[in-house]
């Protein structure tokens, strides 16, 4: 699940909290985390990881936030990769980059581009003001506005490669299934996926290569019959990671309004 919360990230109950160096959030985490966390934060080299002190988390992942927009998505990816390496199942992130002069909608675009690629099952962005929340909500809903259902010829695709079965199944209500069926046409190369439906099958292609990575069957709201591209050159991960990424993709696309 990829979600957004309006509130104080220091209260998040999660496996890991992300923190940008030198900002107001770092000071807030020092206060909320107590003396042990404050001491650990005086010793840590950034990027790095500390325990979470008195916070309701296991770890704090410290990062240096870039000021260049084209490097921001990589920053989010690095944080999520570190969380995955720590075997975190949930992560709370602030709007990393929002204090650097980058418009918060572009921050949100970078954040969602990274989150949808992650195998972590519960990723939540904690946002402390209305404008940032609204921009994240808009980016989540309208990252690729579906004016009509996507079709194969809307974007480049390579011939379908051999796929192998993947243990994945979920159910969607009628609205969510209809939204998923609209697919997604990339607005720009930063969008990582081109998604479209043919018959009862939905295809998930990498946008920059056109190569098919996932395919699922959808019947009466049931998402099943999942397959994925197990070629290590195309997907570096095991079946469990593939299923988590597919689940994030399905949940994100089906949750647009």
The one-digit pLDDT tens for each residue of the chain (257 residues) are 788 999 999 999 999 999 998 888 999 999 999 999 999 999 988 899 999 999 999 999 999 999 888 899 999 999 999 999 999 999 999 999 998 888 998 899 899 889 888 889 899 999 999 999 999 988 876 554 444 789 999 999 999 999 999 999 999 988 889 889 989 888 655 568 999 999 999 999 999 899 999 999 999 899 999 999 989 888 888 999 999 999 999 998 888 75
The answer on 168 and 102 residing in a single domain is: no
Determine how many CB atoms are found less than 10 A away from the CB of residue 92.
Answer: 26
**Sign, Cα dihedral of 47, 73, 180, 211:** negative
- Residue 72 CB contacts under 8 Å (≥ 6 apart), including other chains: 65, 66, 96, 97, 102, 106, 107, 110
The answer on 70 and 37 residing in a single domain is: yes
pTM strictly above 0.75: no
Domain boundary among 142, 174, 199: 142
The answer on 115 and 46 residing in a single domain is: yes
Which region holds residue 234: left if phi is over 0, alpha if psi is between -120 and 50, else beta? alpha
| Closest-CA residue to 73 (of 104, 21, 111, 100) | 111
Distance CA 193, CA 199 (A): 19
Could you give the number of structural domains in the chain? 2
Domain boundary among 109, 142, 175: 142
Domain hosting residue 168, numbered range: 152-254
Question: Residue-wise over 112-139: b if at least 16 C-beta within 10 A, else e?
Answer: bbbbbbbbbbebbbbbbeeebbbbbbeb
Indicate whether 147 belongs to any domain: no
Indicate whether 222 belongs to any domain: yes
């Amino acid at each position: 699940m990829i979600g957004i919360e309006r509130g104080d990230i220091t209260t998040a109950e999660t496996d890991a909290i992300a923190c940008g160096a030198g900002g107001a959030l770092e000071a807030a985490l020092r206060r909320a985390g107590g003396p042990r966390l404050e001491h650990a934060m005086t010793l840590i080299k950034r990027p790095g990881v500390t325990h979470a002190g008195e916070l309701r988390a296991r770890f704090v992942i410290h990062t240096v936030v870039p000021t260049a927009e084209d490097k921001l998505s990589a920053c989010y990816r690095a944080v999520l990769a570190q969380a995955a390496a720590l075997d975190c199942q949930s992560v709370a992130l602030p709007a990393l980059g929002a204090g650097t002069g980058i418009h918060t909608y572009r921050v949100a675009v970078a954040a969602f581009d990274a989150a949808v690629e992650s195998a972590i099952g519960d990723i939540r962005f904690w946002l402390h003001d209305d404008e940032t929340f609204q921009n994240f909500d808009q980016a989540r809903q309208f990252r690729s506005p579906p004016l009509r259902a996507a079709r194969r010829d809307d974007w480049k695709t390579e011939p379908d490669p051999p796929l192998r079965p993947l243990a994945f199944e979920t159910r969607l209500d009628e609205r969510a299934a209809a939204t998923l069926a609209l697919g997604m046409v990339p607005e720009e190369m930063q969008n990582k996926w081109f998604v479209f439906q043919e018959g009862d099958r939905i295809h998930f292609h990498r946008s920059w290569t056109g190569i098919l990575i996932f395919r699922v069957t959808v019947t009466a709201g049931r998402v099943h019959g999942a397959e994925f591209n197990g070629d290590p050159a195309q997907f570096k991960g095991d079946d469990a990671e593939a299923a988590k990424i597919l689940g994030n993709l399905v949940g994100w696309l089906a949750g647009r309004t």
